[in-house]
Amino acid sequence: MDSLKERILKDGMALNETVLKVDSFLNHGVDARLMYEIGTEFKNYFMNHGITKIFTIESSGIAPTVMTAIQMNLPMVTLKKQTSKLLKDDIYQTTVHSFTKATDYELTLSKKYISNEDKVLIIDDFLANGEAALGAIRLVEEAGAQVAGIGIVIEKSFQPGRQLLMDKGYEVYSLARINKLGKGIIEFVEE
């Protein structure tokens, strides 16, 4: 997606070989027009996959997922990272390790937002090691539902997440695939 790549080059900051800061347009300040374009791209790619619901993990995946859900006219569900006093019973839960934050968290899904007939599209802002996506997959499959695809805004292709997901049989569609990061260096996969 050219407009996303241009924005990453213009406003993204590679802090080192693994960290890309895009908080000015994706996960702190949000460029709604760009999120709408991202939603259009995901809709066009996944529209014939029989999807019934779109899931994301709070909070950075919410903006692109909302725009995709609006355009596909489908319900959206946000998987919770925070422990809730309200979500105690009737939940699916799995532990996910965040390499970025060097910590574990509990990913939670209320059983009332999924059925075994659902075909779920999972959308997230980044794909690196694949841990967040695998956590979301575990929750979907524990409910007996099917993962119809995984949409990623920015993929760090030099990390193992994509291959891990593909080796397990999941379809991954990434809008911007980064081949190399370094202080002041952002290079995309040649496609």
Task: Using DSSP bridges, classify how beta strands 119-127 and 146-156 pair: parallel, antiparallel or unpaired.
Answer: parallel
Whole-angstrom CA distances from 126 to 48, 137, 151 are 24, 15, 9
What's the confidence (pLDDT) of residue 140? 98
Mean pLDDT throughout 23-38? Answer: 94
Does 39 have pLDDT greater than 80? yes
pTM listed for this prediction: 0.94
Mean pLDDT throughout 137-153? Answer: 98
Among 59-63, 65-69, 142-146, 153-157, name the one with the lowest average pLDDT: 59-63
Among 52-56, 85-89, 95-99, 167-171, name the one with the lowest average pLDDT: 85-89
Mean pLDDT throughout 11-19? Answer: 93
More confident residue, 36 or 83: 36
Task: Using DSSP bridges, classify how beta strands 76-79 and 53-57 pair: parallel, antiparallel or unpaired.
Answer: parallel
Does 104 have pLDDT greater than 90? no
What's the confidence (pLDDT) of residue 84? 63
Alpha helices in 60-130 (DSSP H): 62-72
Is the CA virtual torsion 9, 12, 16, 19 positive or negative? negative
What's the confidence (pLDDT) of residue 85? 62
Q: What is the C-alpha separation between 167 and 86, in angstroms, rounded?
A: 37
